[in-house]
Structure 1
Amino acid sequence: MKRTYLMATAAVALFGFAGEAMALEWNVSTWGKRRAFTEHLEKLAELVSEKTNGDFTMNVSYGGLSNNKENLDGIQIGAFEMAQFCAGYHEDKNPTVTVLELPFIGVQTLEEEVAVSEAVYALPAVKEDMARWNAMILMPSPMPQYNIVGTGEPRRTLADFEGMRVRATGGLGEAFAAVGAVPTSMTASEVYSAMESGVIDTAAFAQHAHLSFRTIDLATWWTENLNPGTVNCPVVANIDAYEALTPEQKQALDESAPEALAYYVQNYEKNVIGEWNRILEEKGVEKVHVSDEEIAAFREAAGGPARAAWTEQMKAQGLPAEELLATVDEALAKARE
């Protein structure tokens, strides 16, 4: 944390004290480059600065502060004040949040993703889970359901998934493994080279990431409707840094987070989806439509077993699996009322 100090030389010389200005800068750790996935961070920084007349600013760093798998560690030790992370990068660090990465939980829109994420984040068990890292969740980074791009022959059926080498993390990886694919967990920044060199032949991402990490440049096909699930990537703040804010700074941050999130959703729906469809047409990427029967078979093979296995795993750790699952289901139903 950087504070700006104004020193009155005469006062220091005579009385031994200095006046402290309230200007404050937070360092924010994320990765890759600026893209739809980070627009709420950029908007949050803009709003907070505006509301505090520049007395509270944020420096959003794209990989300069930490490896993306170590952002929670950095928050824990106070290396920076805010960070983004994805639950599937390190399930052991954030087990409660992984409920949001289970396959086929039923989310269909970004608005529904926001609703279920915020409901889960509000649970005491999740707050305690994050507090182990001296972290508090400020907002989600809602992403649409993942779909896969690939090279070679399109994969249209579950039988085609047998042996498919796919980049998929967390619950998604487990879902693909359940139907015979070979999932590989790697950071987004590593995927292009892995796909280019043939280490993997498919990759599961939301549209913005396929664009940002250039997997679309290698792809010959894309599953437009598989929709097996997505990853959950909260934005967290260091608790000590948050509590050290002045009332005015804290109010600016608290009020700006929902505004930044709303901007993120609007930007994604307006810009990313349109750009994605244009790029598919421009590059001649085939849209693979998976049949309802195959999707139902995928859901049966992966969804139920994944939920059951996750439940037992959480119970073994003393975590309230049923409450977490029920919260997702209830929040989704309420969002559709």
Structure 2
Amino acid sequence: MLMKTLAAGTAALALAGPAAAETLKLAHWVPPQHTLTASTVEPLVNGVSEATGGELTIDVYPGGELGAGPLEQYVRVVQGVADIVWGLQGYTSSQFPRTMIAELPGVVTEDRPGYEAIWDAIDAGFLMEEYPQTRPLALWTSEPNIFIMKDHEIRSPADVEGLKIRVSGAVAGDIIEALGGIPVQMPAGEMYNALDTGLIDGIVTGASAVGDFRLDEVANSYTLNAPLGRITFYLVMNQGVYDGLPAEMQAAIDANSGRVLSESAETGWYAANDRVLESIAATGDNAIVELTDEEAAAFAELTLPVTDAVVAELGADDILAAMQGE
């Protein structure tokens, strides 16, 4: 009887064969030519497919195909509209106040990558409560923010006073207010028209956005080296969907996400930054202001206290220390 039972079990396993193929949906809201594709999406998609012999594939839905409106990205993955989504913490700042410490001036420096700062804070036991029902696949920061202006040259904090400046989230908004400007929060896809029509006077974001959103067509002045912080990004997966995958597929996702994917993403943002700065300099018809150390210090006197105030308000000295490798 025992032998018959074992034989039946073996036959059932044979009929079941290997784990069934799975397809995941990855949604984002920018066009396929955006920096996101080569730096983040393709390494994940190709790496997972290769690791599973094509048994786990990821279909990509760019440009808001699974739902317009970048502010709703996190909701989409939680509700199962998509299995994986990309977004900016700043678009729903109240959900990610501790992660967004990495956006503050002086927290991430040139000698320590932003993705390392965020993952070190996670490994120290912080931040995960800000990502309920999801599994972060990549967390990283942009290159340093710059001023991207139309018909205004920014050389001192006084030049910012009274100007309407687009920001991506609450942190950047606090910085602009500290400089005497008027922060206007809007998704990146709206920046072009807002700058073109005069709804805003300028933008604070990384230079990579100039290429990704064709801002060079409407901006004509760029100010570099002001301590304006950075932008944070996430790529997250529905935790329930991850838990439902076979172990070998989970392992493939793990091997192609986390710090390794975050590093690829951040490296891509920096590479785009370098290309854009070279391009806008080559045109010869843009004002490019590279602040001296002394000029940058005048901005720092106003922006660095914002960092101190936000960290103090959150009671997050331990998170700041973790992000700075202390």
TM over 0.5: yes
Match of residue 30 from structure 1: 28
What does residue 93 of structure 2 align with? 91
Residue by residue over 1:88-107, the C-alpha shift from the partner in whole angstroms, topping out at 9 and shown as x without a partner, is 11111222212112233242
Residue 222 (structure 1) shift:
0.6
Aligned equivalents of 1:127, 1:205: Cα separation in 2:
26
- Aligned equivalent of 1:329: 324
CA contact (8 A) 2:208 2:272 kept: no
Letter in 2 for 1:325: L
Q: Is this contact kept in 1: 2:210–2:276, CA < 8 A? A: no
Q: Tell me the TM-score normalised to structure 1 length.
A: 0.83
Cα distance in 2 for residues equivalent to 1:141 and 1:37: 12
- Provide the rounded CA distance (Å) in 2 between the counterparts of 1:304 and 1:37: 32
> Do the aligned partners of residues 157 and 270 (structure 1) sit closer, same or farther apart at CA in structure 2, a change above 3 Å counting?
closer
Q: Distance in 2 between matches of 1:272 and 1:289?
A: 15
Q: Deviations over 1:86-134 (max 9, x none)?
A: 111111122221211223324226x611210211233434112212xx1
Pairwise CA distance, 1:262: 4.1
**Preserved contact between residue 163 and residue 181 of structure 1 (Cα < 8 Å):** yes
Using the alignment, how far apart are the partners of 2:265 and 2:93 within structure 1?
Answer: 25
TM-score, length of structure 2 as denominator length:
0.86
CA positional deviation for 1:197: 0.8
User: Which aligned segments of 4 or more residues in structure 1 are displaced greater than 3 angstroms?
Assistant: 18-21, 258-272
- The 8 Å contact of residues 37 and 208 in structure 1, kept in 2 or not, is answered as no
Secondary structure in 2 aligned to 1:233? strand
Q: How far, CA to CA, are the matches of 1:216 and 1:108 in structure 2?
A: 25
User: SS in structure 2 opposite 1:79?
Assistant: coil
Identity %: 23
Shift of 1:147: 0.6
- How far has the Cα of 1:275 moved from its partner? 4.5
Q: What is residue 255 of structure 1 aligned with on the other side?
A: 255
The secondary structure found in structure 2 opposite 1:44 is: helix
Q: Give per-residue Cα distances to partners, 1:293-334, cap 9 Å, x unaligned.
A: 33222222122234324432x24xxxxx12211212226xxx
Match of 2:73 among 56, 64, 71: 71
In structure 2, give the amino acid aligned to 1:222.
Y
For residues 123 and 251 of structure 1, the distance between their equivalents in structure 2, rounded to whole angstroms, comes to: 23
Change (3 A) 1:53 1:106: closer
- CA positional deviation for 1:259: 4.3
Residues 262, 104 of structure 1: alpha-carbon distance in 2 compared, 3 angstrom cutoff:
closer
Given the superposition, is the C-alpha separation of residues 221 and 273 from structure 1 closer, same or farther in structure 2, using an over 3 Å criterion?
same
1:188 Cα shift?
0.3
Q: Say what the alpha-carbon RMSD is for the aligned residues.
A: 2.3
